[in-house]
Amino acid sequence: MRYLILIFLVQFSILRTSAQSGFTLEIVPYNIPDLPALHSYAFAQHNGKWLIIGGITGENTFSSHPNYEFLVIDPLNSKFWSYPYEYAAMDIEEPEHLSACFAASQQVGDYLYLVGGMGYLAESEAFGTFPYLTRIEVPALINAIIKKEKISSYFDQIEDESFRTMNATLSVVDSRFFLVGGQTLNGTFNEQGELIIDESPYGKCSIFKISEGEDFNLKHIETMAFDEHFLSLYPKAIAQVFPDGEQGLTIFYNEKIESVNKLSWMNIFDFGYSTHAQPEAEIPQYHSTIIPVYDQKNNKMHTVFLGGCDDYLCSDEQEYAPNMVEEMTSFTRFPDGYTQIETSQIQAYLTRGKDALFLPANNKQNGIIYLDELGDDNRNLIGYIYGGATTPSPMFYSNGELMDSASNQLFKVYLTKKPAISTLGVLFPDASMPMYRIQVPNK
């Protein structure tokens, strides 16, 4: 059995077609009154209810702060419940880890695994990246939060320096955890009391197993460094299904260099790799809303990017606005290795800022939507989009303050297998608010 990591080192070619095959996404604004504003959080679900942990909250630019409340959301019934950390009395070494933002997370069965992320570190009395993996019992915690019961026993924690990363990706394949990419960040105060931030690339894939049950501990399998392949700190790893049917990760990376750009893949067991070049294209993989869709019947892997930037450090000069997602990009990998990139403007799709997360409804491992499991003639609810930050650049810190704000935006996301004409901001008969229809084409 193979586990592949594809490394997209640079710009891809844009291949535009007039084909009318594909599927259609519909983005429908949805409202839950008084829902908290939030971004960069961790997510799990059970019986249609979401568990939201950590992240950044606050709607005022100068008063945003780490999220110190557990949040349970029932999207079907438009309800939510919160539970402050200060009342939790969690029996773990570092409860502050549960307020981390930009942590890597993955749900496996009834457990949510939270790795790294950034927040306040008691050891340095400043912001930095956490060296922890925390396991959270999802069904029991959701039930306890709703009933306002004691929740101290639903957490286990492991400390290891290999977890000290933020903006990383955590995926699981055959009981192995893959922690990929991101960066470490450590804050200290100088003699003048000024906050000094030191960051460096994580630059590797850490592969490990967890012993479950009462004997909860870590077993390291392998560490694979890949930083020599990248000129930037911030490649982006996304879960994929490959032509052989196995799950793995694709690492997208835009690099603007004069030499030949390379698409490289690695088999993490034998460490062999080959290269492939496709110049002159960019993927806005940073801070975008990402929806992975796998077509089993035709063995095609679609990755849809809503909004985002082609560089981690978004700037006002780029085609990215703080209050609007302006563009959709679809990246499709075919079984013969052919790749197709389509870009279209979606100016009316209002999502406030970056890092709004797609929350899949199917609870599949690694968040992939399987096209063949959906109804052929139905408008299928595949998930939701919740939250987001409202600044065009990654958040900055000044004397410990978070210089950005969060959004409580919420959308339903529907998928129809039949292609349709893209429609922006039109009120349909069964919709109470305007929805936005986006066609994802195929070759």
Structure tokens, 10: 């640079």
Residue corresponding to tokens 């009342």: 87
Question: For residue 50, is pLDDT > 90?
Answer: yes
Question: For residue 219, is pLDDT > 70?
Answer: yes
Question: For residue 32, is pLDDT > 50?
Answer: yes
Range in 15-29, 203-217, 382-396 with the lowest mean pLDDT: 15-29
The closest alpha carbon to 53, from 123, 129, 111, belongs to: 111
The helix/strand/coil state of 358 is strand
CA distance 151 to 59: 28
CA distance 278 to 252: 13
Question: For residue 187, is pLDDT > 90?
Answer: no
Q: For residue range 401-428, what is the model confidence (pLDDT) as tens digits?
A: 556 778 888 888 889 887 655 444 443 4
Count CB-CB contacts under 10 A for residue 217: 10
pLDDT class of 393 with cuts at 50, 70, 90: low
Question: For residue 99, is pLDDT > 90?
Answer: yes
- Residue 308: predicted pLDDT: 77
Q: Stretch 340-362: mean pLDDT, rounded?
A: 71
More confident residue, 425 or 346: 346
pTM: 0.85
306 close to 281: Cβ distance less than 8 angstroms: no
HSE, CB side, 13 Å, CA atoms: give it for residue 435: 18
CA distance 411 to 208: 35
Q: What is the CA radius of gyration of the chain?
A: 21
261 close to 278: Cβ distance less than 8 angstroms: yes
- Residue 269: predicted pLDDT: 38
Question: For residue 267, is pLDDT > 90?
Answer: no
Q: Stretch 5-19: mean pLDDT, rounded?
A: 33
Handedness of CA 423, 428, 431, 433 (dihedral sign): positive
Q: Stretch 432-436: mean pLDDT, rounded?
A: 47
- Residue 263: predicted pLDDT: 38
User: Averaging pLDDT over each range in 119-133, 173-187, 358-372, which range is the top one?
Assistant: 358-372
- Where does residue 80 rank: exposed (0-12), middle (13-18), buried (19+ CB within 10 A)? buried
End-to-end CA distance of the chain: 29
CA distance 270 to 300: 26
Structure tokens, 193: 């009391």
Q: What percent of the chain has pLDDT over 90?
A: 30
Backbone phi, psi, residue 325, to 5° = -85, 120
Q: Which helix (H) or strand (E) holds 252?
A: strand 247-252
CA distance 112 to 106: 6
- Residue 395: predicted pLDDT: 58
Domains of the chain: 4-441 (2.120.10)
129 close to 186: Cβ distance less than 8 angstroms: yes
Count CB-CB contacts under 10 A for residue 218: 15
Structure tokens, 267: 């088999």
Q: For residue range 288-306, what is the model confidence (pLDDT) as tens digits?
A: 889 999 999 999 999 998 8
The secondary structure of 7-38 as a DSSP string is: EE-SPPPP-------EEEEEEEE---TTPPPE
- Residue 16: predicted pLDDT: 30
For 259, residues 6+ apart whose C-beta sits below 8 A from its C-beta are: none
CA distance 44 to 46: 7
Structure tokens, 276: 């492939």
DSSP annotation of 60 reads S
Question: For residue 143, is pLDDT > 80?
Answer: yes
